[in-house]
Amino acid sequence: MTILAGKIGGRSKLALFSHGFNGEKELIKKLIAESETFPTKKYEIEGENGEKILDTQRMIDDFLQKEYYRQEDRYGTGIEKNILVACFSVSGPVGGSKDNRTTTISRPDLDLKITFNELDFKDKLPFPGLRVSFLNYMVAIGKKIFLAEDEAESKVLYEGNKETDSQNDRVIMLVGDGLGQAYSYWDNKKKALLHKSSEGGHSLFAPRNESEGELWSYLLKERRQVISYEYVLSKSGLVRIYEFIKSTNRYGKESGELRERLTQDNTDPSPIIDQAINHSDDLADAALNMFIRIMGARAGDLALTYEAKGGIYVGGVPIPEEKYNIFKEAFLDKEHKFRQYNEAIPVYVYKYESSVLWGAASHAVDAGFVYDAKSAHRRRERQREQRAGIDPKINRGYS
């Protein structure tokens, strides 16, 4: 059986995974195919009442036509019949009934606000009896990055000063298109870490010093409404910080090449990061330093809020290793005894991009959706065989 997984936010991506067993434990085995990242707005259409909705059928069809049906030569004809489960990680809060959960993705910077639910996907996908489920981005990341092999791949940004317990609470930050925050806690009954997403990225940005106060004033004049952490700590937030740094006239003239690249896409901070890493632009370097300080301070706040003795895990916008100390100093910048508290908490950098997709696919297995889908598939096949007069005792080798 194949699992269709996806991450849906301001920018989206779809993938296919196979699964199997490692001893008695069922798990995701490998990635079969994945799409390029694409702007979700490409599939925004107008609903019957004039509201903006997601054209799920066209989005999935485009992916299957380009990345899936062409796989038949490698995986055998008729493979599309094996997709019985679909799980999508979404960047918005997930609510509604357990049988039809709903989410809204709102990205004013991308002129995007769409609402969709699980039935929208189930009714429009080209596979009968498909089980569809949503979960938040941050929960999907938690399901992936704390696996033993993935934890080993996480980079140590700050070691802390004592050993941590594998059952200690942890915090996950994702600084990407928005600011995702979640905490992970140990469940004694399930003998596993569970993950709880939050909307803490929308809490109010609190300046720590004069320069951050100037940034806050600059953004307030620009936006003329409350300034959230997400407005500052995100890909587009780094671009806003760069524009603020430029407006101070303290760091020289702007590079024509950098301005040209930012004009092409003012939500993509990679030109700023590139110039800062190459030490070729003082404006870019100052902007990235301020961004990392704010990120470190926010991580330090979350460490205290959740008593995250198991560690802080950050991902998304890359932090160059040469700037780890900037993050660390901001992370530890607390009142005296609470500085000591944070000194004991390690900070790690995890791989973000693949974690959301793998986590969504893992959720389909962990929640029992794959087992339920396989059981339903077997029942339908037995009913078909009975109608066709085939002996049901013959082993059909279902997988």
Q: Does domain 201-349 have CATH number 3.40.50.10170?
A: no
pLDDT digits (tens, 9 = 90+) for 382-399: 766 677 777 655 555 544
Q: How far apart are CA 391 and CA 223, in angstroms?
A: 70
- Of 322, 296, 222, 224, the C-alpha closest to 239 is 222
- Of 93, 85, 89, 103, the C-alpha closest to 135 is 89
pLDDT digits (tens, 9 = 90+) for 312-338: 999 999 999 999 999 999 999 999 899
In this prediction, residue 205 carries a pLDDT of 97
Q: List, by residue range, all CATH 3.30.420 domains of the chain.
A: 2-136+354-388
In this prediction, residue 24 carries a pLDDT of 65
Fold of 2-136+354-388: Nucleotidyltransferase; domain 5 (3.30.420)
- If residue 117 lies in a helix (H) or strand (E), which one and from where to where? strand 112-117
Q: List, by residue range, all CATH 3.40.367.20 domains of the chain.
A: 201-349
pLDDT digits (tens, 9 = 90+) for 83-134: 878 899 988 888 876 667 788 777 766 677 877 788 877 777 767 677 888 8
Residue 27 · residue 109 · CB < 8 Å: no
pLDDT at 79 over 60: no
Residues 6+ apart with CB under 8 A from 331: 158, 296, 297, 299, 300, 303, 312, 342, 347
- If residue 56 lies in a helix (H) or strand (E), which one and from where to where? helix 56-63
